[in-house]
Structure 1
Amino acid sequence: MSLNLIALSGSLRAGSYNTALLHTAATLCPEGVTLDVRTLHGIPLYDADVEAQGVPEAVTTLREAIKAADGLLICTPEYNNSIPGVLKNGLDWLSRPPAEGKFFAGKPVAMMGASQGGFGTIQSQDALLSVMRAFAVDFWMGGRLLVSRAQNLVDAQGQLTDEALREQMRGFLKGFAAHVQRNKGG
């Protein structure tokens, strides 16, 4: 199996638990699977006036990377029972102009997320699912990873310290990779 996945963190914070989770995931992928971790840094607030002047380079670069990837893994925190504005903004930009946003159709997508609360990111993942439906992605329904009390599982260097969670993540990544491989016809 040879798959190139891209991972998108829905958090901009330097010490983001979600970005740390993705960096850990990149080291736990099955053999033959690579995971390119990206953030939304540099993407401005969506503004149709800005779009009329041309799509910002940060948006184009991220769009091209997602287009080229075999699958997309989104890792989102939970803010006020939903996805962060920065993630929704980034997805809105990626879908503009409408003809450009069509690349999402059929793209294998999975999600996971980490929060400091006790319920993981269940509400933000549910909200993100609604957005992904609008994009007509091939959403992997085989699992989702909800990480609660992330502050107790990630050390000051951004390393995931919980071995049980690392094993759970390995299984999650294996399942998603199999889904992506089926999507490729292999």
Structure 2
Amino acid sequence: MTDTNTTRVAVLVGSLRADSLNRKLAELLRDEAPAGVTLDIIDGLGEVPFYNEDLDGESAPAAAVALRERVAAADRVLAVTPEYNGTMPAVLNNAIDWISRPYGAGAVVGKPFGVIGATPTPYGGKWAHGDTARSAGIAGAIVVEDVTVSQPAVDVDPTTDPDVRAKLLAALGTLVDFAPEASAA
């Protein structure tokens, strides 16, 4: 981080679809982030090969190296994801696998981590969000439980509903304001 007055949040979007609702939510948060907060939506997750220890090391794939560098440069990490078949999308799981290595020293280790998203179900992606939080925690992130927002998108458009937008922005604020040292006490 170059500006000590700016909090940089790396954003991992779990959907690759061009018209993804979750990408739109990530963009909304980026565009409406409070002063002093920059959201870096990391594109190219679909180009990162499936994690394979044989590929990792000094000659790791460029897309995986870029992912690690952008997460390492961030102060916080936010996953914005739908739910596929009751769990997180493979592309998000793969991104977490790459940023968790080397074990104990990966790009996500020690970083506050939150997860939000919306799905067109009554559950709003809660299983995917729980799996994402668990995986990130095992990878060494500090999961900020108060950030998790699993938004049903059945009868509401999360991108335009003022209550949903306020809830998502509040979750971002909680992630940004989280003090890692307070969680260790």
* TM class, shorter-length: 0.7 to 0.9
Superposition RMSD on alpha carbons, in Å?
Answer: 2.2
TM-score normalised by L of structure 2: 0.85
Is residue 2:125 matched to residue 1:121? yes
Structure 1 match to 2:160: 161
Q: Distance in 1 between matches of 2:73 and 2:157?
A: 32
Higher relative contact order (CA 8 A, sep 6+): 1
Instruction: Tell me how many residue pairs correspond in the alignment.
Output: 177
CA deviation vs aligned residue, 1:67-94 (integer Å, no higher than 9, x gap): 1111000111111111111111222122
Q: Distance in 2 between matches of 1:16 and 1:150?
A: 15
- Which residue of 77, 80, 94 corresponds with 2:82? 77
Aligned partners of 2:71 and 2:77 also within 8 Å? yes
Paired residues for 1:4-83 under 5 Å: 4-39=8-43, 40-51=45-56, 54-83=59-88
Structure 2 unmatched runs, 5+: none
- Which residue of 3, 7, 12 corresponds with 1:3? 7
Q: Distance in 2 between matches of 1:6 and 1:52?
A: 23
Structure 2 match to 1:171: 170
- Amino-acid identity (%): 30
Aligned partners of 1:112 and 1:144 also within 8 Å? yes
Q: How many Å apart are 1:105 and its aligned residue?
A: 2.0
What amino acid is the match of 1:59? A
Q: Distance in 2 between matches of 1:137 and 1:165?
A: 26
| CA distance 1:91–1:27, change in 2 (3 Å) | same
Structure 1 unmatched runs, 5+: 155-159
Structure 1 match to 2:112: 108
What amino acid is the match of 2:87? S
Is residue 2:94 matched to residue 1:95? no
Aligned partners of 1:17 and 1:151 also within 8 Å? no
